[in-house]
Every structure is written in structure tokens, then in C-alpha cells.
Chains A and B, each alone.
Chain A
Amino acid sequence: MLRSKVKGEAAVRRRLRTCHYNMAMDRRAFLFGLPAFGLLASCGGSSKIRLALNWKPDPQFGGFYAAPFKERKLDVEILPGGAGTPTVQMIGAGSAEFGVVSADELVVARSRGNDVVALFAVFQDTPQGLMVHAERKLAAIEEVFEEGTVALQRGLPYARLLEKQFGFDHVKIVPSPGGDITAFLNDPLFAQQCFIMSEPLQARHAGAKVTVFPVADVGYNPYTTVLAANRKYVRENPGPVEQFVGAVREGWRAYVANAKPTNDKMHDLNPSMDPATFAEVAQEQVPFIQNDETDAAGLGSMKRERWEKLIGQLHGLGDIPEAISPDDCFKVV
């Protein structure tokens, strides 16, 4: 099983878990009174530093697992997540100090009053894409919307951007089955959203010939796998935050140079992904992590104009009611 935004069964299991979690929250709220929510939201002060991931240990998080936290005297606990784990709300509520989010998620959260800030962008280009059967001989992304079925997470901003640009009148839009490619393999006219280095690899292993159209090609390119934190936490703990981000940068440098030791460690935590796939994905994702810009400015660096463009796009799509300041979205550590 490879990584993706949403994964069939796992996604549903995660939803069930969230559901139980919410129910437990409700019960507590009634037992202790509603102010407990407020306390829950404002506390965050254990000495252990929690990093919430939005998926299971896989190459997308390699640098976090490779980071030398111990050497920097940081007591870090990495919390693996499921598809769509609400990491951005978790760091807002203080149930984790750091979380992995995507840039568009962060902008939307900020506009809703969740004061979170990006610290390190792992993927400089979004690895989101649409995968189709190569036999269709499609030449451009707009042709994906001429016939057949497209599996897309409609809530994602780029899904609506695609709808705005190409229209969904000639295709049937269905929910994304996540990393599950069964429907894709069974239907030659099935297209599905994917992580470029994930599902296509899986489909090729299953014998399919695939063509992938990166979403970045239509001009929507948010930073992805972004390390973020609550601004209040960042303000109150400048030392640990600096140490943490430094360790993460070092970790990614080490992982890009040699993924093997960390892959072995992650494979122990996530045995459903085989070692060969770990190695393959780790290699395929390097161009998304390292480019001319990061060679100059360092891994994880972010640019104001990228945030500004993203905010404009999200405003245009109606995801945020009004434009927010790009300077508040990220912090150079």
C-alpha cells in the first residue's frame, strides 16, 4: 500500500476512529462541562514534543524519521496518522506541537481563525496528479474530462479549479478511493487522483500502463508535506522550535543522500509497504524535494510569492472569504 491523500478502507477506518474520538469528546464535554473544551484547546504544555503526521510512516516522511532529535536534546514523539488526520486542527487545538499539513490547508485554516504557521516545506512542488490509462493516448489534462469516470476528492481546492477550467459535464465524478487502484485496473476509462510517486507505481506493478498529469501543470502548486505549528507555541518556545526545524532539515538532507537506514526503520513501523517500494518512492520523490531553489536557500525553504499566489487562487475559488497576509503564513527559522 502506498501513500495517498485518502485510502479506501484505511480512510474509512480512520473516519470511524475520528467518529469514536468525537463521541468520546462529547461525553467528556457533558461530564466536565463545556469549559473542558477550552482547556483542551489551550493546553499544550507537556515537555514531550509531538509531531502529528497525516499518514503512516512512508518515504514522504523520511526526513522526519531521519532527523537527529535526540542529538539535539529534543524528546520527540512522532504520531503516525491516517488519511485526512486533521493535523491542522490538532496543532491549533494543542494536541500536537508540530504537524504535517499542505499549504492550501494551512491558508484555509488561517482564514478560519486557526493561528498556525508553516516552518518547513518538504515538497516544493505538489505531487498531486491525475492518472489515466496510457491506452487512451491522452495528450493533455483537459482531455481527462472528455469522457469516463474521474475519482477526485471534491473538497480539495484543485478539484474545483479543474471543474472551473474544464467542466465536469462529460464525466462522472466519484469519490477518491485513495490508494486503492482496483476500480482503475477494472475500467479502462477510469481516471483517479494520485500522488505522482505513489499510485502510478502501484498500477505499473499490477501490469497497467499509465499516464500521469501533474496538477501543478494547471498552475496550482501549493507546497505539500509542510511542517507547521501553532504560532503561540512558536512564539513561546523559540529555542526548541529552532532546534526542531534544524533537526528536520538535517534529517531530510540525510534522507535524500541515503534513504536506506531510515527506510528500514520505517518499514518496521509500516510493514505493509515492502522495502523495494520504500526505496523506489524515496528515489522518485527527490526532484520534488530538492531543486535549484533549495540548493540556494536550503531544503524546506519557502517563498512569499508562492504563498501570495496560492492565497489569490483560494480566494478566487471561494475557499477563503477574503485574502489573508502571506507573511503570516510562513516563518523562516
Chain B
Amino acid sequence: MRGILPPLIPAILVITAMELAVRQGFIPAYLVPAPSAVLAAMVESRAELGQAFLKTSAGALLGFALSAFGGIAIAVLLSSSRSIQRALYPYAVFFQTVPIIAIAPLLVIWFGYGMKTVVVSAFVVSIFPVIANTLTGILSTDPNLRDLFQLYGASQWVTLLKLRFPAALPQILTGLRVASGLAVIGAIVGEFIGGEGLGSVVDVARTQQRVDKVFAAVLLASALGLALFGLINLISAVTLRRWHASEQG
């Protein structure tokens, strides 16, 4: 209980304040919905929202998985030699800077309407933090340990698998944490243009001036982001508990 209480207090305060502000007429309901109205919209449209939530989850998860595996693979490749890194890293930065909002309409033309566009959009926005963090992690292996592996004649592959990769785990997980939230944003942006999912619900509800439903869908998107974040934290706790300070104490 002591763990749940601190985050609950601000939530209760904000929700109560919003509810009162709308009910007392300080804020018109067509600008900001009362939390009770958002809840009512959730219940009323539960079938539609549930289906949209599943669609968005699938798109975000797939995009995120592609980012995780692709990002780690690219980082390993980049770490293999300084010249490869110098040749390719600037192009990896491209993913960091690409304005997804501007290229999303093109994604539809390249990948068609529907899931593929959503997955690609989630992937494009979420891969860079995985690359950057994994690379930093792999490159910052303790030089003494590296020397030790060399002394025992370990191959490059073994060094990567048994030393550099495990040592980089805390950074890799940090990259994945950042990427998990971005993947949800990417999926929603993809859905604005490609149709389906929570993105489409938000778009339609906004056109209909249903702020309550917009908030309901946005809350579900946040819940999805939180769930992904929680999943990474769980993996982090399991893999790092025994040796890394961040998961101890």
C-alpha cells in the first residue's frame, strides 16, 4: 500500500479538481471534459475503444519489437569497427531527426493503408534510442575486463556475447524504455493517416467535438505506453537484480 499511495495522491487531487472545475462552470465542458464524462465515454464506447486499443497495441508492439532487435543488431554492427561506425552512424541519427509527422502521409503511399504503415511509423520513431544507448553501452565496457578476455584468448564473438553485451544491458534497457513510449506515439501518428486504432478514434472524436472521447482514447494510449514501460522494467529487474546498482537497494 505504501508503494501505491504516493502516485495516487496527485491523481486523486487533479481528478477531483478537474471534476469540480467543470461542474462549477469554471471550465466549459466543451473545452475540457469532466473526468466523470471521460469515464462515461469509456464505458459507452467500450467495444469500439477495446478493439482500437488492441489494434494500436499490436502496431506499437510490432514496431517496438522491430526497433529492439533491429536497433541492437545495428549497434552491434556499428561497434565492430571504428570505420563502420564513422560511415554509418550519421545515417542512424537520421532516424532521430526525421519528422514522422511530415513523412507519415508518404508512408501510406509506400506501404498502403492499415497495419503496415502503423508498424513502420512506430519503428522509425523508436529505433534511434535503442541504437544510441546500445552502442554507448557496448563501447564503454571496462577496459580491464576486455584485457582479461584478450589475455585468455577469447574470440571477438565470445567477448561480445559474454562480456560486452551483458555489460551493456543497463544502457540497452534504458534505450528500450525510451523507445517503448515513442513506439506508442509513432503508432498513433501512423493511425491518424493510415486509419484504424486509437489514432483513428481520436481523429473521428475530434471532428465530432467529443472531447470526452478524445481524452478516453488518449488515456488508453497512455495506458499502453505505461504497460510497455512496465514490461521493460520487469525485464530490467530480472536481468540486472544480481549485479547492477540500479536494480539493487
Contact = CB atoms under 8 A, between A and B. Distances in A.
Given A93-B31, A108-B209, A175 B26 contact: no
A65 to B, nearest CB: 27
Nearest to A35: B26
Given A12-B104, A175-B203, A88 B27 contact: no
A105 interface: yes
B139 interface: no
Most buried by B among A92, A93, A174: A174
Contacts of B155: none
A89 interface: yes
Most buried by A among B17, B18, B204: B204
Interface of A is mostly: helix
B209 A88 contact: yes
A175 B101 CA distance: 15
A174 B195 contact: yes
Contacts of A240: none
Given A12-B102, A88-B209, A112 B203 contact: no
A319 interface: yes
A16 B200 CA distance: 15
A157 B112 CA distance: 26
Given A84-B207, A108-B208, A155-B205, A93 B28 contact: yes
Contacts, number: 96
Contact of B113 (A34, A113, A149): A149
A124 to B, nearest CB: 23
B203 A155 contact: yes
Contacts of B208: 108, 155, 319
Interface stretch (B68-76, B168-176, B186-194, B239-247): B186-194
A256 interface: no
Interface string B190-234: 001111000010011111110000000000000000000000000
A115 to B, nearest CB: 9
A237 interface: no
Contacts of A89: 30-31, 209
B106 to A, nearest CB: 9
Contacts of B30: 89, 92, 109, 112-114
B25 to A, nearest CB: 8
Given A89-B30, A114-B28, A155-B206, A13 B101 contact: yes
Interface string B7-51: 000000000011001000111111110000000000000000000
Q: Closest 4 A-B residue pairs measured CB to CB?
A: A155-B207, A38-B26, A155-B204, A8-B105
Given A37-B31, A89-B30, 20 more contacts: A9-B101, A9-B104, A12-B105, A12-B189, A15-B192, A16-B101, A35-B26, A37-B27, A41-B27, A89-B31, A93-B28, A108-B208, A109-B209, A153-B203, A154-B207, A155-B207, A156-B207, A175-B113, A175-B192, A175-B194
Interface of B: 17-18, 21, 25-32, 101-102, 104-105, 108-109, 113, 189, 192-195, 200, 203-209
12 contacts: A34-B21, A37-B21, A38-B27, A41-B28, A84-B207, A108-B209, A153-B203, A154-B200, A174-B113, A174-B195, A175-B203, A182-B109
